[in-house]
């Protein structure tokens, strides 16, 4: 019997169970070659245009192909049918799908993520991978002072392409300033982080500076874009930061957010770096490789704060 267009997504979904695509994709040299030794910015712009095409059939086929390479799970999405890839990338979840830890001493994870490098900032240095340091000052850019986070705790949170892509306030806080820094779109997976020096400082990013309501502690969240992922929506500013963003690069604001309130989203998947000053401690079990969901404990506030 001839294959019809409606058969194709189902056939691809079946192929996932028996395909070698995912194992091939996980080979380090091939992965690095295909995701970095390409015209990254041009491909990222092209992916942005493609993801906005409204076609339910094309979207179904694209999602089925996507599943050849990832463990995409849409079971907790608010909707199950999408008219574009962008709608799937930026999907909302069912109410209650990401409960937020109510303990006021807990700084919650802002996103679904895999924990990467983490630790204490020393002499302006933090690490993207073992043996690959980078400078907080360079990451934050020339207009922002990172000294308040010296001796403090930092965590790398990597969002894979298959994960829920929205991110949320980790505590009650007020966002006071956003700095947008344009840049490259290197892949931010562990393979690239172990090969490309100062990768986070090279990529497009936003530095979100805020202050917790409890204790007045400063905090910084740095969403970093990556290949195919150069669009960051910040709801509290109602802007979409992307490779063609004309400015301004400095955006002061006074945006109060409650713990768990949505802050924005990535269009595909990337990384959020979290910085806090001395006195905070990583929550129990937080270590490289740990999978987290938005709202789960990430750090604990200083005792008595």
DSSP state of 141: -
Say if 111 falls within a structural domain. yes
Asked if residue 196 and residue 110 are part of one domain, the reply reads yes
Instruction: Give, in order, the Cα–Cα distances in Å from 222 to each of 54, 124, 132, 137, 167.
Output: 31, 16, 18, 13, 11
Q: Is residue 30 part of a domain?
A: yes
**Do both 55 and 181 map to the same domain?**
no
First to last CA, the chain: 69
Q: Which residues of the chain have pLDDT under 70?
A: 1-51, 227-230, 242-248, 267-269, 305
Domain boundary among 89, 114, 130: 89
Which is the catalytic residue, given 51, 165, 168, 217? Answer: 168
**Rg, Å, the chain Cα set:** 19
H or E segment to which residue 61 belongs: helix 56-66
Among 112, 171, 217, 231, the active-site one is 112
pLDDT at residue 247, as a whole number:
67
Between CA 137 and CA 129 the distance in angstroms is: 18
Are 34 and 159 found together in one domain? Answer: no
142 and 84 within one domain: no
- According to the model, what pLDDT value does residue 33 have? 45
Asked if residue 66 and residue 196 are part of one domain, the reply reads: no
Q: What percent of the chain has pLDDT over 70?
A: 78
| Residue 144 resides in a domain | yes
Active site residue 112: yes
Length of the chain in terms of residues written: 305
**Residue 189 shares a structural domain with residue 48:** no
Instruction: Give the CA distances from residue 127 to residues 199, 210, 248, 286, 290, in Å, rounded to whole numbers and listed in that order.
Output: 10, 23, 29, 16, 17
* Tokens encoding 44: 């990222």
Residue 120's pLDDT is what? Answer: 97
Residue at 1 is within a domain: no
**Burial (0-12, 13-18, 19+ Cβ within 10 Å), 10:** exposed
- CA distances in angstroms from 3 to 10, 100, 164, 226, listed in the order given: 11, 46, 33, 36
Assess whether 246 and 285 both reside in one domain: yes
* 82 and 223 fall within a common domain: no
Domain match, 193 and 255 both = yes
Say if residue 213 is in the same domain as residue 287. Answer: yes
Buried/exposed 69-108: b ≥16 CB within 10 Å, e otherwise? beebebeebeeeebebbbbbbbbeeeeeebebbeeebbbb
Within this chain, do residues 84 and 218 fall inside the same structural domain, yes or no? no
Going from the C-alpha of 105 to that of each of 156, 213, 299, the distances in angstroms are 20, 12, 8
Domains: count for the chain: 2
Q: Which domain holds residue 128?
A: 106-300
The pLDDT of residue 10: 52
Task: Give the pLDDT of residue 90.
Answer: 83
Whether 103 is a known active-site residue: answer no
Looking at the fold, whether 113 and 226 belong to one and the same domain comes out as yes
Helices 56-66 and 7-16: crossing angle in degrees, nearest 10, is: 10
For residue 140, the tally of other CB atoms under 10 A from its CB is 22
The pLDDT score that the predictor gives to residue 142 is 93
Is residue 135 part of the annotated active site? The answer reads no
Tell me if residue 233 falls in helix, strand or coil: strand
H or E stretch covering 140? helix 136-140
DSSP 110: S
pTM of the model: 0.83
| pLDDT reported for residue 30 | 44
**Phi, psi (degrees; rounded to nearest 5) at 186:** -60, 145
3 within domain boundaries: no
């Amino acid at each position: 019997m001839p294959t019809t267009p409606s058969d194709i997504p189902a056939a691809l979904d079946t192929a996932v169970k028996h395909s070698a695509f995912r194992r091939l994709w996980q080979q380090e040299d091939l992965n690095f070659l295909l995701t970095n030794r390409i015209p990254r910015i041009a491909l990222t712009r092209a992916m942005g245009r493609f993801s906005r095409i409204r076609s339910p059939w094309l979207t179904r086929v694209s999602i089925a192909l996507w599943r050849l390479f990832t463990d995409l799970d849409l079971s907790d999405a608010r909707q199950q049918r999408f008219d574009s890839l962008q709608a799937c990338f930026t999907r909302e979840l069912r109410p209650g799908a990401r409960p937020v830890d109510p303990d006021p001493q807990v700084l919650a994870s802002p996103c679904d993520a895999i924990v990467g490098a983490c630790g204490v900032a020393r002499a302006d240095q933090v690490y993207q991978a073992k043996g690959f340091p980078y400078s907080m000052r360079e990451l934050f850019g020339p207009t922002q002072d990172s000294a308040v986070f010296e001796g403090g705790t930092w965590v790398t949170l990597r969002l894979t392409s298959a994960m829920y892509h929205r991110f949320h306030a980790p505590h009650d806080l007020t966002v006071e300033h956003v700095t947008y820094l344009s840049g490259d779109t290197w892949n931010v997976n562990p393979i690239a982080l172990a090969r490309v020096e100062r990768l986070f400082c090279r990529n497009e990013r936003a530095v979100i500076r805020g202050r917790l309501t409890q204790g007045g502690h400063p905090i910084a969240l740095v969403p970093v874009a990556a290949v195919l992922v150069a669009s960051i929506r910040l709801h509290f500013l109602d802007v979409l930061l992307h490779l063609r963003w004309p400015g301004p690069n400095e955006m002061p604001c006074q945006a109060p957010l409650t713990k768990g309130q949505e802050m924005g989203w990535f269009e595909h998947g990337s990384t959020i770096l979290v910085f806090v000053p001395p006195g905070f401690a990583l929550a129990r079990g937080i270590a490289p490789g740990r999978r987290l969901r938005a709202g789960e404990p990430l750090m604990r506030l200083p005792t008595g704060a």
